[in-house]
Chain A
Amino acid sequence: MQRTMAASTRSAGEITIVDLVGQIDLGSSPALRKTLLNSLKTTNHMAINLGGVSYIDSSGIASLIEVLKEAQDTKKRLVLFGVAGAVLQVLQLTRLTGVFEIAQTEEQVLHG
């Protein structure tokens, strides 16, 4: 299990995809927030792949919410995918599964 968080960005047509791996906590969530906000500046449609995230806490969720708000304020689209396991559990416990647009797979993001 990867302990530290890592992020990489790629493009699929008009969509910017940010792939996250590792554990997101108080130590790594500031970097996550910065990475996501910077990526959002350069695209109108961003998808965040959480499939490689083994752990996320409320500080990580707060970072996602902040990016969501920025996307909404700038009329951009933000989608999460690869939401499962511990990540899904936290989103369910904080009742945020209905707040974010969540796709099941990357395929659904690209062609849904």
Chain B
Amino acid sequence: MDFHLKLVVPSDPRFLSIARKVVSEVSAICGLPDEACQGITLALDEAVANVIRHAYKNRYDQEIELDCQVNAERIVFRLLDEGEPPDPARICAQPLNDVSLSGRGTHLMRTIMDEMSYKQTSGKNELRLVKNLPRAQVNTAGG
């Protein structure tokens, strides 16, 4: 079963819980177990938080578009924003051999998701996060 869902949230940390809820439910609809749903939720939360902090420099009055495209093989999440482009060096995951206070979010995204990529699309920053689905996982039950 293929479906497409799009959500636009303010770049305000108060709305992170809404984005998490949507991502969690999408993951569950796809038939993923709880632990996987939690992981994907964490990855997307980290991504949205990074947009708020780095792309929008903690401006809470901007918009973040969360796009979810699901088919039988994968969930493709795209985050789009109109903030500052990321520093390519910062997209690199934090080495985990110390206790520095930054960079773990990117590491979590790379560890949890199967694919992670960035590009610019029509003047917007686009972060693409993909989770592959085990075969025949999407819940096809109606209602």
- Say whether A55 faces chain B, with CB atoms less than 8 Å apart: yes
CB neighbours of A68 from chain B (8 A): 99
B66 → A minimal CB distance (Å): 15
B105-121 residues with Cβ-Cβ distance < 8 A to A are 105, 107-108, 111-112
A111 → B minimal CB distance (Å): 28
- Say whether B45 faces chain A, with CB atoms less than 8 Å apart: yes
CB neighbours of A95 from chain B (8 A): 96
Also in contact, A94 and B42, with CB within 8 A (given A26-B49, A27-B13): no
B141 → A minimal CB distance (Å): 24
Partner of A94, one of B17, B39, B49, B96: B96
B45 → A minimal CB distance (Å): 5
B80-117 residues with Cβ-Cβ distance < 8 A to A are 96, 99, 101-102, 104-105, 107-108, 111-112
* Inter-chain contact A3/B38, CB cutoff 8 Å: no
A55 → B minimal CB distance (Å): 7
Q: Taking each of A26, A69, A85, A95, which has the highest tally of chain B beta carbons within 10 Å of its own beta carbon?
A: A26
- Say whether A110 faces chain B, with CB atoms less than 8 Å apart: no
* Inter-chain contact B17/A58, CB cutoff 8 Å: no
Also in contact, A58 and B20, with CB within 8 A (given A27-B14, A66-B101, A69-B99): no
Q: How many A residues have CB within 8 A of the partner chain?
A: 25
Give a binary string over B16-52; 1 marks a CB under 8 Å from any A CB, 0 the rest: 1100100000000000000100110110011001001
* Inter-chain contact A94/B107, CB cutoff 8 Å: yes
* Inter-chain contact B17/A61, CB cutoff 8 Å: no
CB neighbours of B108 from chain A (8 A): 58, 90, 93-94
Q: How far is the CA of A62 from the CA of B38 in the complex (A)?
A: 19
Known: A93-B107, A94-B108. 10 other contacts (CB 8 A): A23-B17, A26-B13, A57-B45, A62-B104, A89-B35, A90-B42, A93-B42, A94-B96, A94-B104, A96-B99
Q: Which B residues have a C-beta under 8 Å from some C-beta of A?
A: 13-14, 16-17, 20, 35, 38-39, 41-42, 45-46, 49, 52-53, 96, 99, 101-102, 104-105, 107-108, 111-112
21 contacts between A and B (CB under 8 A): A23-B17, A25-B45, A27-B16, A57-B49, A58-B49, A58-B104, A58-B105, A61-B104, A62-B104, A65-B99, A65-B101, A66-B101, A68-B99, A69-B99, A85-B38, A86-B42, A90-B42, A93-B42, A93-B107, A94-B96, A95-B96
